[in-house]
Structure 1
Amino acid sequence: MSVAQGVAVVVVTYNRADLLVGMLDGLAAQTRPADAIIVIDNASTDHTRKVLDARTDLPLVITTTEDNLGGAGGFHLGMLQAYEAGHDRILLMDDDVVPAPDFLAVMTAHDGPCQMAVREDRQGRLVEKAAIRFDLDNPLAIKPKTASVDSTYADRASLPVEVPVEAVAFEGFMVRREVITAIGLPDPSFFIFYDDVDFALRAQQAGFGIVCLRDAVLVRQLDFDQQHALDTWKGFYMYRNLFVVHFRYGSNVLVRLKPWLIVLMVVLLSPLRGGRREAANVIKAIRSARHMRALSPAASPAALLRHR
């Protein structure tokens, strides 16, 4: 298959039609337009389809799934479609960010294998959570993200032009085709959370560096509040997928045992914080994570052989 030199943008959306409008407006205003915009509509039940059908000004390729695949399944499917179409660069975006007009121009001007945007909120404050250090060596680092872009730098002006990072979000992340060929696709079994971290860790293990680009501006429309959802259904996925990352990529046995320590701590402290629902989530999470130590076959490079 011949490889196109253009850029495909993959957008995953679910029941956020009004936010999607702003994101699509941002793509329409790019000084360097996308060559294709692959939208994975995760079985939305709002007016998402109406919003998409109205965008005849954009090169949309729309897939509406029968079931909600989650962010991980959506990005897996969208990246596969972009790969099958022969695109050389693939940019992953959520439906709740708005790119600055020169966003794609800045991203495509960089020759590296993997680039991450630098996000800000609607007030212009730096909110880029990409991990400068994601510590899977120290068993005492309960939270492996020990330094992020926004915890290290006060504002965008303080950033160097490029900031090397170890973990990313699929919210303004661009990857070259050669990386996908080498490491495969996002793992759909994560459903939501940590599929982006897993992909970034695999890329680095294969020798591909990742940098945040100071001048690639994405404006995030929603606040980060997932840390308050550990006793909800989201908490199950946050715990489970964090455990999976430790099982897969922990550099020593103590790090790979750390999920069990986290379970013990959460259960013991549940009368004081979190309660029974969080304790139930973490127990369910460790049981499920034990069966996800290996990469899903659908995400492996071997799954791409027929698409090369």
Structure 2
Amino acid sequence: MSVLNKTAAVIVTYNRSGKLMKVLDALNTQTMRPDIVLVVDNASTDETPDLVEARAKLDPSIRHLRLPENVGGAGGFHAGIKAAYQMGAQYFWISDDDAYPEPDAIERLHDALIGFQSENGWRPSFACSRVEWVDGSLCEMNCPRTVWDWARFVKPTRPWALVDSCSFVSVMIPRWAVAEHGLPIADYFIWFDDAEYTRRIARSYPGIYVPESRVIHDTPDNRGVNFGLIDEKSLWKFKYGARNETSYRWREGGLVNVLAYIYGVRGQMRANGVPHRLRREIYSAIIRGLSFRPKIEPAG
């Protein structure tokens, strides 16, 4: 592949070696195989380091970036995109360690980015896949957000809808977007880092949803991000999400934007009977978000 098309896959992993190996197998069969496969290892304590190093000896495209501590998905994607940028990648395919791309998934994202610009004159800030659960249904937590005129360029042969945010599960980002808008916010640790980042780069121009690019997300169950679903096991993630989105909304829209968010979160928790103790934990996270001011780091 030419330097202008140099592609890096950035996979963040933590203690899921079995699923990670399936991801690497899927990348090995891609019709457009990444030039660099960067495995960002969040200080895994299972056999992940040994398995990745063994693969790297057989496949020189695999790079093992082992972090000294677990900095969460947000910190991992920050470190991975930064490293891939320094390696000269022109396209960054970002995904989780439990998401298996279909053989043509990466090529279809790449071709859509180039094809959209060629046909319409606009330069999409990212292209994202259709993310399916293990049974083939839409994965609820990975549905991108459309813009108001999402159907403007949709054609029978080019069903590419305009979107302004998506998850970090099979999204391709061009180098120019990283250069102009910086890196994901590492201090988020987990949750909302992908939404914040894709909304940030979409300020230049929206991204595109490419349904012919498909990836299977191997999660335990198929549930969206709804505060009515909080339980003891998931509380810690929702707390990060509440803090991070509150911080973002304050940065982007001030108090009115935050109050609208609180109203929505409160309604979801009340409608689904979330215990009051857990609700208080979420409200505390929202309060922390009001003074949480993480920095956006440039790529270079």
- The alignment's TM-score, normalised by the length of structure 1, stands at 0.80
Q: Which residue of 2 aligns with 1:139?
A: none
Q: 2:259 aligns with which of 247, 257, 260?
A: 257
Where in structure 2 are the equivalents of 1:60-209 lying within 5 Å?
60-110=62-112, 111=114, 112-127=124-139, 128-132=142-146, 161-205=159-203, 207-209=204-206
Q: Greater shift after overlay, 104-113 or 188-197?
A: 104-113
Where in structure 2 are the equivalents of 1:236-251 lying within 5 Å?
236-250=239-253
Shift, 1:57, TM fit: 3.1
**Maintained 8 Å contact 2:6/2:88:** no
Q: Distance in 2 between matches of 1:277 and 1:64?
A: 37
Give the letter aligned to residue 238 of structure 1.
G
* Gap runs ≥5 in structure 1: 135-147, 149-157
Q: Greater shift after overlay, 85-94 or 48-57?
A: 48-57
Give the letter aligned to residue 182 of structure 1.
E
Shift, 1:262, TM fit: 5.5
Q: Distance in 1 between matches of 2:268 and 2:198?
A: 28
Shift, 1:283, TM fit: 2.8
Q: Which residue of 1 aligns with 2:11?
A: 11
Determine helix, strand or coil for the equivalent of 1:273.
coil
Q: Greater shift after overlay, 100-109 or 175-184?
A: 100-109
Q: Distance in 2 between matches of 1:291 and 1:21?
A: 40
Give the letter aligned to residue 63 of structure 2.
V
Give the letter aligned to residue 288 of structure 1.
R
Relative distance call for 1:279 and 1:253 in structure 2 (3 A) is closer
Give the letter aligned to residue 129 of structure 1.
C
Relative distance call for 1:176 and 1:67 in structure 2 (3 A) is same
Q: Distance in 2 between matches of 1:4 and 1:68?
A: 33
Shift, 1:125, TM fit: 1.9
Q: Distance in 1 between matches of 2:33 and 2:268?
A: 47
Deviations 1:165-206 (A, max 9, x none): 12100111111111111110000111111111111111122x
Q: Distance in 2 between matches of 1:188 and 1:133?
A: 26
Q: Distance in 2 between matches of 1:104 and 1:264?
A: 39
**Maintained 8 Å contact 2:126/2:206:** yes
Determine helix, strand or coil for the equivalent of 2:241.
helix
**Maintained 8 Å contact 2:125/2:201:** no
**Maintained 8 Å contact 1:31/1:105:** yes
- The alignment's TM-score, normalised by the length of structure 2, stands at 0.82
Q: Which residue of 2 aligns with 1:36?
A: 36
Determine helix, strand or coil for the equivalent of 2:191.
coil
Q: Which residue of 2 aligns with 1:235?
A: 238
Q: Distance in 2 between matches of 1:273 and 1:10?
A: 39
Question: RMSD of aligned C-alpha atoms?
Answer: 2.7
Relative distance call for 1:161 and 1:262 in structure 2 (3 A) is closer
Give the letter aligned to residue 244 of structure 1.
S
Q: Identity across aligned pairs (percent)?
A: 27
